[in-house]
Amino acid sequence: MLHPFLQNDFHIKWATLTPEHIETDIGKALDQARSAVDTVAAQQPPLTYTNTIAALDEGLETLNRAWGLVSHLDSVNNSPELRAAHNAMLPKVSEFFASIPLNESLWKTLRAYSVESRDEDLSPTKRRYIEETLADFREAGADLPPEQKKRAGEIQSQLAELTQKYSENCLDSTNAWEKIVTDEKQLSGLPKSALNAARQSAEQKDTEGWRFTLQAPSYIPVMTYADSDALRKEVWSAYAAIGRSGEYDNRQLVLQILKLRHEFAQLIGQENFANHVTERRMAASGQAALDFSDEIFQKVRAQFEKEAEQLRCYKATEEDLPIDHPPLLEPWEVGYWAEKQRKANYAFDEEALRPYFPIGRVISGMYEIAQQIFGLRIEERDTSRGWHEEVKFYDLFDSETNEHLGSFYADWHPRESKRGGAWMNYFITGNRDLSVGERSPHLGLICGNLTPAVGNQPALLTHREVETIFHEFGHLLHHLCGDVEVKSLNGVNVPWDFVELPSQIMENWCWERESLDRIARHHETGETIPQELFDKLIAARNYMKASANVRQLAFGKMDLELHIHWPDSAEEDLDSFVDNVLQDYNAKYKTQAKSNVFNFSHLFSSPTGYAAGYYSYKWAEVLDADAFTRFQEEGILNAETGRDFRSKILAKGNSEDPAKLYKSFMNRPPDPDALLRRDGLIP
């Protein structure tokens, strides 16, 4: 096929998207995009929305889609050939996108149109997009003098290459390590599910025994259940070393990334990168985001310290040691002893839930819930349409009008060619502007690294993995249910401290009996979770919640401190800097654990990403805890409430101010204490 990456087919022909086409196709897309930019830049009066703002977006669409496909394949099917082709074009693509807001002629045209547009008959959404576009250009350096514009472009291009290398190092460093165990006695304590998965992993590598990796489904069970302190220490040490040494060393990369981000922020007139990132978000400044996090921390600090002391005392008691001054734990002991204490306190073993969470039932039940409350219909299609044999493909319809709102791919299990974590993204934003044509469907994707199937048994998930599926599906619904006439304001293209609301609110349905009965069925008997086990799950829900909150707050604080105060600290040792700013947030251990700053893809795998924005998880968690109270009051499967959420939140994207959208759904501002109340940390 000629130019496979440039095809406009809704059903992507993945088999044709091979590395040898990337350079030619992206080069052609770049030429088309440059021509489109030049056309808009040279546009003569009368200037209109159609021949300026809309024309620019339309002219970049082919490149955005094609490069999106390349980047996606780099995430899910990484190979030496693909990586080489991707990295060969990355500087050119990055340089081009960085040059757009720095194009003086284009900026002159858009500024002129912004004045003329006051007399044009435009919808409020399009007027908002004009304002957003001009703000984007200014934030990227459009008002800078020529020499500084040149430097701004250079910085963005350098950041793209450095962050790509960081991401590759994380993936390669993770894949470079394995642990083969041949003596089953060393695996005492591990549940059958973990042992079977490790045995299967070894067989797939033609190796005897049990194989463990640093991928989450392998790593987490070892840290939680393995009785062998030596095994846990070895696995923990390997994970902690990701990105810290050898050919996959990210330490200098992070320093360069931070310095370039700070230089860029100051170049465009901001005090620091955090202020640059947050200025148009709900927080409005880096310091406000820090203050928000600190306010929550102060409310949970005493309970956090109490939980740490209780865990030390529990271990001391179990080992017949004095509890008046219990010894500190090692960092590789925390998950193990926390799980033992949870079992002791609540007689609850999360592994007992696995048989009730076969992935097929979880997903079909989740779809049933979404269909009932949001007025949707989801149908699985031909599974051969994906980039891997495990990928599934679905169509999503409005249940009342039967309109095809969108389709999506789902790819849930780990591979060595696939980056870690879980995420949602999109390939196509459908048309919702009836002035330029008929409505068309959206196309998105969700990916994860969940427990795989073992032998003939289906993939049996942990409850946390079930939450992960619901979380990413919430992001996906935000895109697929988007009804915004401007594509660039649709779905997840909202301020990042609002983007997690639709995802995190979905996790709440994983805790309610009525909804759990839809998603949890024993893979052999079909029975729902026994009431006794459900009661234990709920009783243990808020176990060590202060510690869980502080862990997330610490990530957010580290992120903000690095992007606010590190540049002025004259501190080259990031570990020392992080240890200092997080000294109150970290429990004390015998061996002080180092930060994950060199293996934190959220912050350093793209030029911006979640950098100076990780706080948004906690920010949105406050919103989701509060918003779900309306479902609890009106019925968690109440279709009227669900459709209200769809129409006032999911459908609106960034067409209006997020605070206004939230208030339209709740009929009031958010309750700042909703999260801590749900977590049982305040009355």
Active-site residues, by number, are 472
**Cα–Cα dist 228/233, whole Å:** 9
**Cα–Cα dist 586/386, whole Å:** 43
Cα–Cα separations (whole angstroms), residue 173 to 156, 176, 258, 415: 26, 5, 21, 14
The residue whose two tokens read 């992007």 is 563
Encoding tokens for residue 374? Answer: 């949001």
- Residue 46's identity, in one-letter code, is P
Query: Nearest-CA neighbor of 488 among 398, 439, 438, 426?
Result: 426
What 3-state DSSP class applies to 428?
strand
b (16+ CB within 10 A) / e for 422-447: bebbbbbbbebeeeeeeeebbbbbbb
Cα–Cα separations (whole angstroms), residue 279 to 139, 275, 294, 303: 10, 6, 19, 33
**Cα–Cα dist 90/264, whole Å:** 20
Asked if 627 and 504 touch (Cβ cutoff 8 Å), the reply is: no
Query: Nearest-CA neighbor of 308 among 344, 337, 343?
Result: 337
**Cα–Cα dist 196/202, whole Å:** 10
**Cα–Cα dist 549/601, whole Å:** 20
Chain mean position to CA 278:
18
- Beta-carbon count within 10 A of 456 CB: 5
Encoding tokens for residue 31? Answer: 């030429």
**Cα–Cα dist 75/167, whole Å:** 10
Alpha-carbon dihedral sign for residues 155, 581, 617, 357: positive
Q: What are phi and psi of 466, to 5 degrees?
A: -60, -45
Asked if 476 and 408 touch (Cβ cutoff 8 Å), the reply is: yes
Pairing of the two strands 179-181 and 423-428: unpaired
Q: Taking CA 334 as the corner, what is the angle to CA 333 and CA 339, rounded to the nearest 5 degrees?
A: 105
Pairing of the two strands 179-181 and 210-212: antiparallel
Encoding tokens for residue 399? Answer: 């249940």
Encoding tokens for residue 615? Answer: 């706080």
Query: Nearest-CA neighbor of 508 among 540, 485, 474?
Result: 474
Asked if 613 and 559 touch (Cβ cutoff 8 Å), the reply is: yes
**Cα–Cα dist 243/171, whole Å:** 9
- The reply to whether omega before 101 is within 30° of 0 (cis) is no
**Cα–Cα dist 107/50, whole Å:** 16
Q: Which residues contact 143 (CB under 8 A, 6 or more apart)?
A: 107
